[in-house]
Structures are given as C-alpha cells and as structure tokens.
A and B are shown apart, each in its own frame.
Chain A
Amino acid sequence: MNGKTRTFAYPGNGRSLEIDAALCRACGACFEVCPHATIAPDADGVARVARREACMECGACARACPFGAIAVEAGVGCAAAILSGLLRGTAPDCGCGGSDGGCGDGPPCC
C-alpha cells in the first residue's frame, strides 16, 4: 500500500463487469489492458474478477477480448460529464476536446 502501487477503489465500481468463464480461452488480453489489475487469471489462466471495486468500467477488457467473454457497461466516470448529459438530455459527455476543461492529463479522465 505505498504511494505507487496503492489500490484506489471506489464504492459502487465495477457493478456491470461480467466475465463468462465458459467463453474465456485464457488468452490473457484482458489482464494486459486493464489499468487497475481488476482481472486476474485463475490456476487455469481463465479470467476472474479479482478486485471489483477497482474496476472503473472503462471497457478496455471487453474490447480486448477476442472471444466476447467480457461484458461491461463502459462510460466516463466524471460528475461534470454526467451532469451536463442529464441537463442536455444526452449521453454523458465530458467535452474535453471541446471548450471544457476538467479532464486530467496523461492518464486521468474521460
């Protein structure tokens, strides 16, 4: 739990993440892309959710899986984006790229 490898978790994270072990062919693509080490292989190399509260539901794992074994409802976890989406009646849009700030650099955000 030092600064570098500290696990950030957030209550309510990862609720929509589902791995269908029957479809998994243990290729490892999902562990590779997950930025929070949420998914870990079991003894047979089959993908398992190891730390659900670390999952930011970014959708990278589902997109990386060639066998369609992972489902997750992906979206940006940004309060301002969600709010502006609610106000405009659209999907959450962080608008970074437009005129809005608020999004982080390198890693962070949307």
Chain B
Amino acid sequence: MPRPMTPGAGRTALAPPPAAAPRRGSKLEIRAPGRGGNGPDSAYGAGGSLPRWAEAWTDTAAGRVLRVKTAPGFRDRLDLLRSRLVRRRERIRVAPGLYAVGAPGADTPVFVTANYKPSFDALRFALIHRDAWLLALDTKGVNVWCAAGKGSFGDEELLRRLRASRLDLVAPRSDLVLPQLGATGVSAWKVARATGRRTRVGPVRAADLGAWLDAGFVAAAEMRRVRFGLGERAVLIPREVAARAGLFALALLPALAFAWAAGFGAASGAGGAGPAALAARALSWWAAPAGGLLAGLVAFPLALPLIPFRRFSAKGALLGAAWAAAWLAATRLPPLESAAGALASTALSSWLALEFTGSSTFTSQDAVKRELRIALPLQIGGLTLALLALGARLVLALADAAGGAR
C-alpha cells in the first residue's frame, strides 16, 4: 500500500455503535438481532442454543465469539434455495459481528463480508480447513456488491464494526481481507490509514479464496473478473418469474374482455358461445402477453449474448416480436385481437429485458438512462395501442349487441 496522499474526508469522526439489547427471534439462523449486534456474543444469546451453522463458542481476548462450521448443512442449502426464490431475501441473514473459523490467532487474517447469509455462507465454506476471522458487516441482509453500491457496505460501517467487535484486542496484528466487489463502497487505502492494518483485496468469488490464499494473496486475472455466464444468469430466473406472477394474472383481464366481445359477436351471428368456447378464446389471446412475459423473463436471460442487437430493450422486443409472429400464425384471431396481442407481447418482453439491467453485471447507470429515454416511450406506446385495440373491440361488440337487440 502506498502512502495515501489524498485527505480522507470523515474517516475518524465515527459515532460509537448504538448499544442495543439483543432481541431473541424464534429462528436464530435467519433473524438478526436489533441494529446493535456488537459484542461477539450479544447476538446469539449467552448459553442459549447455538445457531445450526455454528460449532461452538470460542474464547477471545474480548469475550466469546461463535466458531462457524465450514461445511454446508441442510438448512444452509435450503437458505440458498430460498434466496433464489423469494423476493424478500434480505431476511436471510446472520447477525453482524465477528466470527471464528478454525482456531484463529492474533495475526490471522480477517475476512470482511456482508450479513446476507448466502454471502456469509459462501465465505465460511471457502475457508474450510483454514483458520480465519470473519467480520460480517451490517448490510441489512443485502449482498456485498449491492450493499457496497448503496453504501451500507462502506468505510464507516466497517470501522464501526471493527471497533464494536474490539478487534484491536482480539487480533491486533491481523490484515483485513476485503471482498473485491465491496470496493464500490469500501476504500482500502482509507481503511488502512484509519486502522493501521494492512488491507488486501480478495477475489470476486469466494470459491477462489483458497487458490488466492495458496498463491500468497495473488489473484489470477480471471479471479478479478465478474462473470455472467449461462449459469449465473439462469439462477436469477426463478425469482424474477415468481416476482412477476401477478402480471400473468393481470393479462387474463384483457383476455376475458376480448373473449366476451367475441361472444357477443358470435351471439349476433351464428349461435351463442358456451363458457368452454369463451375460455378457450380467452386463453388463446392470453398466450400472447404470457408468452411475451416469458420471453422477457426466461428466454432473454438465457440467450442474452446470442440475441442480435446490443441494447437490452431491442433484444427483448425482438424476442417478444418473434413470439408474437408464432402466436399470430398459430391463433389467427381477428385483426384487433391480433394487433393487441402482438403489441403486448413485444412491449412486455422489451420492458422486462430492459429491467434485467438491474440483474446484469455490466450496464452503467448513464447508459441505461439513455436507453430508457428512448425505449420506455415506445414500450408505453405499444401497450397503449394494445389497450386502444381492446377498447375498439369492446365498442364494436357493444354496437353489435345493440344492433342485435333492435
């Protein structure tokens, strides 16, 4: 580390952490205590049952800390699975503070992470057969990269947590290993200056930690790169689909309206349409928006690098339009229904693809803003036209009905 030259604003005036009474939750594994969680053992109660992922209490110069397990248990796997399905995954967390892996000593490195349990878990599993300290920052259950972007994984919280865990007593000579993706929030040189400790930047993925340590804290170029391969993209899909279930249901409304209108048309012409025919008609229209949603939520993440165009909204629109073409060929509905379905499929897929910029790992805010400015009006325009087509169809049906009644 070179001698820092730039003044580090606000690096010292840190308020002491609030002294919070430990709150006991029924499920200690996932429930963090109040905002404190300071002392090594304030969070998980004294003498109470251990969290399932801990082996034992271990004594340090500043009190007891939990020694964590380094092999995944059933609950850990379940937590990981849950984190990929549920919207509120920030509830899957551990208490912030200091933990031990193996039998760490006064100069064993301290690995800093977030208190999002899957992040914490990946770190402890990567440190199997090693001695280490783990310091979980209070990121409110948000993973390292997201939290660093928001600032909750930041210099201030790190210094506060170091002080709260009394690391100067526990491990006075330890280096701090900072996760690379935390660099958006934590400035290694400022932390080094404020603590007098050496800081090192660990690899992007916890799984590479072993190799990084064995190489003497040297990262191969590949370890410093964020990947976004098929696997990384695929795991994002279930949560996205689950989060959008409401849209699939919402699309049933216009589908039923179209079917209803078609029923009127049929009633005024060749005989009435039964409920089964109505349902079939509704479903055949619903396939258009539903397919558009799936194109944006499933096909787009999977095929991302293969789809022509570079902008996400254009890629998404292409997928939605492709589905619309197939749907048009298969259903052959009357013009207004066809137009509405095709527009809805294309616009929905385009929007969901653009929204995927939030899950992707390489889009900058300014670039997304620029794209949004062009794409959003088109997407809104497409959906508006689809609604107008529906409105026109309903008016025609009512006119038909009035004509038939006369």
Are B225 and A37 in contact, CB atoms less than 8 angstroms apart? yes
Q: Does A49 contact B (CB under 8 A)?
A: no
How far, in Å, is A23 (CB) from chain B's closest CB? 9
Q: Which A residues lie within 8 Å of B224 (CB)?
A: 31-32, 34-35, 37
How far, in Å, is B24 (CB) from chain A's closest CB? 24
Are A102 and B362 in contact, CB atoms less than 8 angstroms apart? no
How far, in Å, is A47 (CB) from chain B's closest CB? 13
How far, in Å, is B315 (CB) from chain A's closest CB? 11
A105 to B219, CA, bound (A): 22
Are B145 and A107 in contact, CB atoms less than 8 angstroms apart? yes
Q: Which among B141, B146, B354 is the interface contact of A110 at CB below 8 angstroms?
A: B146
A12 to B311, CA, bound (A): 10
Q: How many residues of B contact A (CB 8 A)?
A: 78
Q: How many residues of A contact B (CB 8 A)?
A: 62
How far, in Å, is B117 (CB) from chain A's closest CB? 12
Are B365 and A109 in contact, CB atoms less than 8 angstroms apart? no
B 121-143 contacts with A by CB, 8 A:
122, 139-143
A96 to B359, CA, bound (A): 11
Interface hub of A25, A32, A68, A96 (most chain B Cβ within 10 A)? A96
Stretch at the interface among B35-43, B234-242, B340-348: B234-242
Q: Which B residues lie within 8 Å of A15 (CB)?
A: 364, 366-367
Q: Which B residues lie within 8 Å of A13 (CB)?
A: 362-364, 367
- CB within 8 Å for A79 and B355 given contacts A11-B310, A97-B152: yes
Interface hub of A25, A58, A108 (most chain B Cβ within 10 A)? A108
A 8-32 contacts with B by CB, 8 A:
8-16, 25, 27, 29, 31-32
Q: Which A residues lie within 8 Å of B305 (CB)?
A: 6, 8
Are A29 and B84 in contact, CB atoms less than 8 angstroms apart? no
Are A35 and B180 in contact, CB atoms less than 8 angstroms apart? yes
Are B358 and A81 in contact, CB atoms less than 8 angstroms apart? yes
Q: List 12 A-B contacts (CB under 8 A).
A: A13-B364, A32-B180, A37-B225, A63-B186, A73-B365, A79-B312, A79-B371, A82-B368, A97-B139, A97-B150, A100-B87, A104-B358
* Chain B contacts to A: CB under 8 angstroms: 1-6, 83-84, 87-90, 118-119, 122, 139-143, 145-150, 152, 180-181, 183-189, 201, 204-205, 219, 221-222, 224-230, 232, 235-236, 239-240, 243, 305, 310-312, 354-355, 357-372, 376
Known: A58-B364, A103-B359. 7 other contacts (CB 8 A): A4-B229, A8-B361, A10-B367, A12-B370, A36-B362, A57-B364, A107-B145
**Ordered nearest first, which 4 A-B pairs have the shortest CB separation?**
A78-B358, A12-B367, A75-B365, A57-B364
